[in-house]
Amino acid sequence: MTEVPDPYGRAALCDPSALSRVFEAAGCRTQSELAEFLGVRQSSISDAKKRGSVPADWLLTLLCKKWINPTWVLTGQGARMLQPSEHITPMPEKSAPIVVRCPPHACTTDELVQEVVRRAVRLIAQSEDG
């Protein structure tokens, strides 16, 4: 029988090693370093650690800055990095305003990753246009 992944906010994002993979992927050793890399307050790192979750915006930042695979961050499975297309230039270092929204509870990990990738592609296309 095939196991169905848990919805967003449950086991998939409660993997205690997911936050460790965020630190590893960002190349950060302290919460303050990670907060600076992600463009958030250090208290956000502490809150994520207490909740045992990784916010979707962090996955998007890792994808845009370092091509880190969101599925690898959340589950430890799959390739660590995604390969950018040859015709896509890297994202500029300037950060775009990010609207924080919580996904619905019925959202699966796959749906979350698809949304993160969709947003990343849109940001890349916008950066190429302007």
Per residue in 45-70, pLDDT (tens digit) is: 999 888 888 998 999 999 989 999 99
pTM: predicted TM-score of the whole model, two decimal places: 0.58
Phi, psi of 29 (to 5 degrees): -110, -20
Per residue in 111-126, pLDDT (tens digit) is: 777 788 888 888 887 7
Label residues 69-103 b or e (16+ Cβ within 10 Å = b).
bbbbbbbeeeeeebeeeeeeeebeeeeeeeeeeee
- The per-residue pLDDT for 84 is 64
Per residue in 2-20, pLDDT (tens digit) is: 444 443 433 344 467 899 9
Q: Which two tokens stand for residue 93?
A: 């270092």
Nearest to 94 by CA among 56, 58, 123: 123
